[in-house]
Chains A and B, each alone.
Chain A
Amino acid sequence: MMVEPVYATLVWAVPYLGAGLMALLYLAGVRREAAYTLTSAASLLLAALLATIVGYDVLSSGRPVLHEFTWIDGLGVKVSTYVDGLSAVMIMLVSWLSFLIGVYSIGYMKGDWGLPRYFFFFTFFVGSMLLVVSADNLLLLFIGWEGTGLASYALIGHWYTDEEEYWVGVPGRKALGVPMYFEPSHSGLRAILFTRVGDIGMLIGMAAMYLLTGSLSIHQIAAEAPVWMATLAKYHLLQLVLLLFTMGALAKSAQFPFHEWLVTAMTGPTPVSALIHAATMVKAGIYLVLRFAPIFYYGAINAPGPLHDIVVHDTYQYFTIVAGLGAITAFMMATMAIVSNEFKLILAFSTASQIGYMFLAAGAAGMLVEEANTLAFSAGVLSGLSHLMSHAVFKAALFLISGWAIHVVHSRFIDKMGDFAKYMKVTAIAMWLAGLSLMGIPPLSGFFSKELTLKAAEEAHLEWGFLLGAVTALLTALYTSRLIVRVFHMPPYEKPHHEPHEAPPIMLVPYTIMALTALALGLYWPGVASFLAKAGELTAAGSLTLRVEPAELEVHLTGTVAAILVGAIAMIALVWLLYKWINVNFRALLAQHASLKALHDFLFDRWYINAIIYIVIVYGFAGIAMFLAGVDFGIDWFYHTALIAVFGAFSYATRALHRGRPEYIVSLYLYLAGLAMLLAYLLWR
């Protein structure tokens, strides 16, 4: 099939146009809900269809599609859309998931007072994300990147009137004196400022690439990577520049130490959480890493002459840091999820944790630069992509289910939820499918993709990274099964005000489709593996392509794989045992044992990282601001009180000569006389 290249551009342009149309409708005074829901759904569906056509064409013909035109030639900014293997996978994944979430939103947001704004930013969000994953020009990519930031800010703070029911965290709870509950408008602020920190690093990194290659085209930057990376290495700047650039991705993907914004992003309407966690926003960061890891790898192994070893060494260190941050995030966030008592919050922790796996895979793959093992590198990057894909599907399902759960009991706390399996059979099945996928239990897709990421760490001999990943797998099984057992199979701790019932089709169908997709992907994993291999083949950096045998992306039941699997199943059994059979009273346990309580609080308050960030940075800068306000007062006083008083006293003697405000006027005369003398002196000299 032949497709016009312009279709590739339309994939992201259509949602933007849809959003623009909604803005015009709003200004024109249209207030009917259907105008917005239909515009949004139609543009998302059209984008998804276009993405499918383009993606299918790329993967079947084996030829990437490029569509570009000049925008600001002086700055090298082009509107260039380039769909290769990686982008093809991403645009299809993003657009279809977003469409399903959009449909679910129509039901979820019915009657909401901010509905036009919601669908405007929702659609804008999707357009921005599609732009990120298909732009070839770095500044164009950055526009999409900032677009996701803006949209997430607006959507997380959608209920900006800040009523308590929309908060996240336990009202009144403090850690180290810092409040641990967040209003929607506060959470939105956190999202945009945390990611902003990373974005500035990213801009500096982009500036380096732009100045050294004279181009903003990712293609061009890739092709010249050996040269510019060597130049940077010569000035000992390589690691710094690469890390600054990657800060953008770390912040977007909520990796340590930027993870805090994501866990409070739960204040938005639940479909937004699904969108942020599954299809957009956090996936933008890992996409950027997957996109640039091959470029950095290619640049390092092809770096010229005497600098080669230095470039390889620096790049190796850079990738080690990326992998390490991923592994730490995976572990850290999983521990927090164990004790959390909010449905969405548990899922949020799990997102940051699972993306940690992807960073671990991409970073570990990059570490193979030392061995120049391109085959294993490619497999590692694609394993990151595979986990991105499977995570997107099951996490979207989990969030949409949580949306229904919260909606039906009018509470975000799992203490008020229980016995859902009795009331909603289909939802329970969908929950178990998506949950088992998250836990990494075969034949669900999550099992395969997670094992692949761990294999990447193993290949790179990153033992501690592997170990953290393996432990995280067990913790994941623990917190996920705890969530499912408590919400679906145990009576609630506190009686909810409303009796649960099954979701309406407009909400039930999207998440059931997603859960079944998670199953289908797992059942046909060899098909997925060859699909990913095909995508890899069509993903290039310079002369390097991510070529792997599909068999490399399949999982074989080795000793370690089996051990982790047995461990995970044991965790599920343990949870069942503790909650269902023994019915341990954890609250009483915590009340009795101080050390358990301390551990619980440490995890519940998120390792005190939020508190530390607030105390050191936020309150620190607030203090500096107060201090500077004092300085400003001093400057004001000096000019407008002290100085004026001096001149005023002087003018007192000559008051008879003046009318009006002599202290000002005499000051001015004196001053002018001084300047005249200076000029005379200059000219006379």
Chain B
Amino acid sequence: MAYTLPFPALWTAVLLPILVGIAAWLSKPSTRSAVDGFAALSGVVLAYPAALLAALYARGLLASGTLDPLYASYRGLGTIALAIDGLSGPVVLGVSIVTAAVALYSVKYMTVRIEEMLEEGEKAPGMGTYFLLYNMFAAAMLGLAMATNLVEFYIFLELTLIPSFLLIAYWGYGDRKRISLLYFVWTHIGAALLLVGILYYGIRLGSFDYLTVPALKPVGSVESILGAAAKTVALLMIAGLFVKMAVFGVHMWLPYAHAEAPTPISALLSPNLIGLAGYAYARFVIPSFPGILGDWRNYLVALGLTTIIYGGLVALTQRDFKRFLAYSSVSQMGYMLLGLATLTYIGVAGAIFHYLVHAIGKAILFMTAGIFITQLHGLRDIQSMGGLARRYPLTAALALYGFMHLVGMPPTTGLWSEWMIIVGAYKVYSASQLSLAALAAALLVALVVSGAYSFITMRRIFYGQPRSERAREASEDRDVLVWSTLALLVVGFVLFLASAPLINSLLRVSQAVVPWG
């Protein structure tokens, strides 16, 4: 039985950032201290869900689920509520800590970016607008993770897309008008596919709920209710989410959007937003269509492995640091898909935990990229880097720790998700020598490719001798960019040591999601 909070803490978590954003927008902060103040305030309200999770854990409420007292039911629609349980815990935490750290990071980065645009003769909206959009984006992601109903989910999804589109359009790099539109169209292609699936699901069932309120149990299989259309609906939902996740084949929008977004937004888009599609997959697609997904298991697992290897190998050929990171995100989504596709409770738990792992690791890496862009006048070309560890020792350490998340090396949380996903995969493919040998070979290639692109890029950027004048004359300025990234590293390390509460409750809930595996 879920615990109902005594006050609407979850709605507060979603609304507070938006209120801070509106305040920032209305007051049009122009002085340094006003901007700093809004950044700090945003950081605090965005870190609040993380604190809430810690409090819930301290009271032993993480696994059973926690419900916000404000909820309402409508005929034909279901119940609109917000809740946190073991499955959404790592996701909420990932969104909360990354958005909080990046809020601090944004001040310096965006100030420099806006000045730079002014120098180029472009008039960009100010920091007030930025914080409005940023906080709306972050709040909507929190809402997505805490939603219990498909309509609610979809509204929050749109709420993430619009601010992120504007953020790219206003402050992005390169051909940002075209790229923001490209991003907008692609994400709506995904969203609309999902919407059709959602509408059919809700209209036939008479309710759009995927979690029951107040028990917070999955609604369960809808295959028999939907009958012959079940496969189509499952396919629509999966396809919609796969576009969002940028799975191999429909990934092509991601390298553009994530590379050309202003870097703080890349740090949110890449790990946080796209991973939410994987969370949605575990949250309502698996419980709704267990039989169909079981039939498709081999294809989905193969798609996951393909995405890992493809994304990783293409990443190796990239020259632009941010574009490289974007392809690595495609690859990392493959790990999530692999875990989800196994349809084992441990594999699903591993996939969801990987959300958190990737959120921290990839955010650190994008922030590293941003440090160079800000401090080295837009240096993004890996070919022109080299030898930067000597000049940026702390940043090098940060990047190494970020990469270790992607590779799954301790002391990062990456070890836990890697282990759970491998155990899940072994569980499914250990029936015969041939299947195990095939799995082992595929995993070997996949994980070594991840290690290869990580450490090879580490070498290209940080080791050897500088390959350009800009890199040679560089020196580390330990400003808020570096410190906020370091804060994320510290959180990552603490989480490695203290992931027990998250993992334990995650495993319990994923057993309810996949009770047969």
Query: Is the CB–CB distance between A75 and B465 below 8 Å?
Result: no
Chain B neighbourhood of A672, CB < 8 A: 192
Point out the residue from B409, B449, B499 that lies within 8 Å of A146, measured CB to CB: B409
Chain A neighbourhood of B152, CB < 8 A: none
Q: In the complex, which residues 557-603 of chain A have their Cβ closer than 8 Å to any Cβ of chain B?
A: none
Chain A neighbourhood of B410, CB < 8 A: 142-143, 146-147
The answer to the question of B443 belonging to the interface, with a C-beta cut-off of 8 Å to chain A, is yes
Q: In the complex, which residues 371-399 of chain B have their Cβ closer than 8 Å to any Cβ of chain A?
A: 387, 389-390, 393-394
Q: How far is the CB of B169 from chain A (nearest CB, A)?
A: 12
Which 4 A-B pairs rank lowest in CB-CB distance, beginning with the nearest? Answer: A185-B463, A160-B463, A625-B313, A207-B426
Among listed B41-49, B216-224, B356-364, B414-422, interface-contacting one: B414-422
CA distance A635 to B246 in the complex (A): 13
Point out the residue from A74, A75, A196 that lies within 8 Å of B447, measured CB to CB: A196
Chain A neighbourhood of B215, CB < 8 A: none
CA distance A74 to B427 in the complex (A): 17
The answer to the question of A434 belonging to the interface, with a C-beta cut-off of 8 Å to chain B, is no
Point out the residue from A117, A183, A632 that lies within 8 Å of B464, measured CB to CB: A183
Among listed B112-120, B125-133, B157-165, B428-436, interface-contacting one: B428-436
The answer to the question of A506 belonging to the interface, with a C-beta cut-off of 8 Å to chain B, is no
Query: Is the CB–CB distance between B507 and A74 below 8 Å?
Result: yes
Given contacts A160-B389, A235-B431, A237-B430, contact A75 B416 (CB under 8 A): yes
Bits for B427-457, please: 1 = Cβ < 8 Å to A, else 0.
Answer: 1001111001101100110011101100110
Query: Is the CB–CB distance between B181 and A204 below 8 Å?
Result: no
Point out the residue from A75, A196, A201, A241 that lies within 8 Å of B507, measured CB to CB: A75
CA distance A679 to B194 in the complex (A): 11
Grouping DSSP codes into helix (H, G, I), strand (E, B) and loop, the A interface class, with mixed when no group exceeds half, is helix
Q: In the complex, which residues 645-685 of chain A have their Cβ closer than 8 Å to any Cβ of chain B?
A: 661, 664, 667-668, 671-672, 675-676, 678-679, 682-683, 685
Chain B neighbourhood of A147, CB < 8 A: 410-411
Query: Is the CB–CB distance between B448 and A628 below 8 Å?
Result: no
Bits for A611-646, please: 1 = Cβ < 8 Å to B, else 0.
Answer: 000000000011011101100100110011000000
Query: Is the CB–CB distance between B409 and A161 below 8 Å?
Result: no
Pull 26 A–B residue pairs with CB atoms less than 8 Å apart, ordered by A: A70-B500, A74-B500, A146-B410, A150-B404, A157-B463, A160-B462, A161-B463, A162-B465, A184-B463, A188-B459, A189-B456, A197-B448, A200-B443, A207-B427, A208-B430, A235-B432, A240-B437, A621-B313, A628-B310, A628-B313, A640-B252, A661-B181, A664-B181, A667-B185, A668-B188, A679-B200
Chain B neighbourhood of A157, CB < 8 A: 463
Point out the residue from A71, A161, A678 that lies within 8 Å of B500, measured CB to CB: A71
Given contacts A197-B448, A235-B431, A682-B229, 20 further A-B contacts (CB under 8 A): A27-B486, A147-B410, A161-B464, A184-B463, A185-B464, A192-B451, A196-B447, A207-B427, A621-B313, A624-B313, A625-B313, A625-B314, A625-B316, A626-B317, A629-B317, A639-B252, A675-B195, A675-B196, A683-B200, A683-B203
Q: In the complex, which residues 186-211 of chain A have their Cβ closer than 8 Å to any Cβ of chain B?
A: 186, 188-189, 192-193, 196-197, 200-201, 203-204, 207-208, 210-211
Bits for B258-292, please: 1 = Cβ < 8 Å to A, else 0.
Answer: 00000000000000000000000000000000000
Q: In the complex, which residues 161-185 of chain A have their Cβ closer than 8 Å to any Cβ of chain B?
A: 161-162, 183-185
Given contacts A72-B504, A235-B433, A629-B317, contact A143 B459 (CB under 8 A): no
CA distance A188 to B464 in the complex (A): 12
The answer to the question of B232 belonging to the interface, with a C-beta cut-off of 8 Å to chain A, is yes
Query: Is the CB–CB distance between A189 and B313 below 8 Å?
Result: no
Point out the residue from B192, B423, B430, B455 that lies within 8 Å of A675, measured CB to CB: B192
The residues of B with any CB-CB pair to A shorter than 8 Å are: 178, 181-182, 185, 188-189, 192-193, 195-196, 199-200, 203, 229, 232-233, 249, 252, 310, 313-314, 316-317, 387, 389-390, 393-394, 404, 407, 409-411, 415-416, 418-420, 422-423, 426-427, 430-433, 436-437, 439-440, 443-444, 447-449, 451-452, 455-456, 459, 462-465, 486, 499-500, 503-504, 506-508
Query: Is the CB–CB distance between A235 and B448 below 8 Å?
Result: no
The answer to the question of A153 belonging to the interface, with a C-beta cut-off of 8 Å to chain B, is yes
Point out the residue from A188, A629, A678 that lies within 8 Å of B196, measured CB to CB: A678
Chain B neighbourhood of A160, CB < 8 A: 389-390, 459, 462-464
The answer to the question of A221 belonging to the interface, with a C-beta cut-off of 8 Å to chain B, is no
Query: Is the CB–CB distance between A161 and B465 below 8 Å?
Result: yes
Q: How far is the CB of B487 from chain A (nearest CB, A)?
A: 12
Grouping DSSP codes into helix (H, G, I), strand (E, B) and loop, the B interface class, with mixed when no group exceeds half, is helix
Given contacts A143-B410, A208-B430, contact A193 B508 (CB under 8 A): no
Query: Is the CB–CB distance between A629 and B314 below 8 Å?
Result: yes
CA distance A399 to B15 in the complex (A): 64
The answer to the question of A149 belonging to the interface, with a C-beta cut-off of 8 Å to chain B, is yes
Give the size category of A's interface with B. Answer: 35 or more
Query: Is the CB–CB distance between B390 and A161 below 8 Å?
Result: yes
The answer to the question of A433 belonging to the interface, with a C-beta cut-off of 8 Å to chain B, is no
CA distance A639 to B185 in the complex (A): 12
Q: How far is the CB of A220 from chain B (nearest CB, A)?
A: 16
CA distance A155 to B193 in the complex (A): 51
The answer to the question of A73 belonging to the interface, with a C-beta cut-off of 8 Å to chain B, is yes
CA distance A425 to B506 in the complex (A): 65
Query: Is the CB–CB distance between B448 and A200 below 8 Å?
Result: yes
CA distance A636 to B415 in the complex (A): 34
CA distance A588 to B448 in the complex (A): 45
Q: How far is the CB of B427 from chain A (nearest CB, A)?
A: 6
Q: How far is the CB of B189 from chain A (nearest CB, A)?
A: 6
Q: How far is the CB of B367 from chain A (nearest CB, A)?
A: 17
CA distance A153 to B407 in the complex (A): 14
Query: Is the CB–CB distance between A211 and B504 below 8 Å?
Result: no
The residues of A with any CB-CB pair to B shorter than 8 Å are: 27, 70-75, 117, 139, 142-143, 146-147, 149-150, 153, 157, 160-162, 183-186, 188-189, 192-193, 196-197, 200-201, 203-204, 207-208, 210-211, 235-237, 240-241, 244, 621-622, 624-626, 628-629, 632, 635-636, 639-640, 661, 664, 667-668, 671-672, 675-676, 678-679, 682-683, 685
Chain B neighbourhood of A204, CB < 8 A: 422, 426, 439-440, 443
Chain B neighbourhood of A210, CB < 8 A: 423
Query: Is the CB–CB distance between A237 and B436 below 8 Å?
Result: yes
Q: How far is the CB of B467 from chain A (nearest CB, A)?
A: 12
Given contacts A185-B459, A626-B317, contact A203 B430 (CB under 8 A): no
Given contacts A75-B416, A193-B452, A207-B423, contact A162 B464 (CB under 8 A): yes
Q: Which of B196, B420, B427, B437 has the most chain A CB atoms inside 10 A of its CB?
A: B196
Query: Is the CB–CB distance between A153 and B503 below 8 Å?
Result: no
Q: How far is the CB of B512 from chain A (nearest CB, A)?
A: 14
Chain A neighbourhood of B178, CB < 8 A: 661
Query: Is the CB–CB distance between A244 and B200 below 8 Å?
Result: no
Closest Cβ neighbor of A626 among chain B residues: B317
Closest Cβ neighbor of B249 among chain A residues: A635
Closest Cβ neighbor of A668 among chain B residues: B185
Point out the residue from A146, A201, A671, A679 that lies within 8 Å of B415, measured CB to CB: A146
Closest Cβ neighbor of A637 among chain B residues: B252
Chain A neighbourhood of B420, CB < 8 A: 75
Closest Cβ neighbor of A160 among chain B residues: B463
Query: Is the CB–CB distance between B504 and A74 below 8 Å?
Result: yes
Q: How far is the CB of B264 from chain A (nearest CB, A)?
A: 23
CA distance A367 to B447 in the complex (A): 33
Closest Cβ neighbor of A185 among chain B residues: B463
CA distance A161 to B432 in the complex (A): 48
Chain B neighbourhood of A186, CB < 8 A: 459
Q: Which of B188, B407, B464 has the most chain A CB atoms inside 10 A of its CB?
A: B464
CA distance A123 to B200 in the complex (A): 60
Given contacts A161-B387, A236-B432, A640-B182, contact A139 B419 (CB under 8 A): yes
Query: Is the CB–CB distance between B503 and A72 below 8 Å?
Result: yes
CA distance A671 to B184 in the complex (A): 14
Chain B neighbourhood of A624, CB < 8 A: 313
Q: How far is the CB of B330 from chain A (nearest CB, A)?
A: 10
Q: How far is the CB of A311 from chain B (nearest CB, A)?
A: 15
Chain A neighbourhood of B393, CB < 8 A: 117
Q: How far is the CB of B265 from chain A (nearest CB, A)?
A: 21
Closest Cβ neighbor of A208 among chain B residues: B426
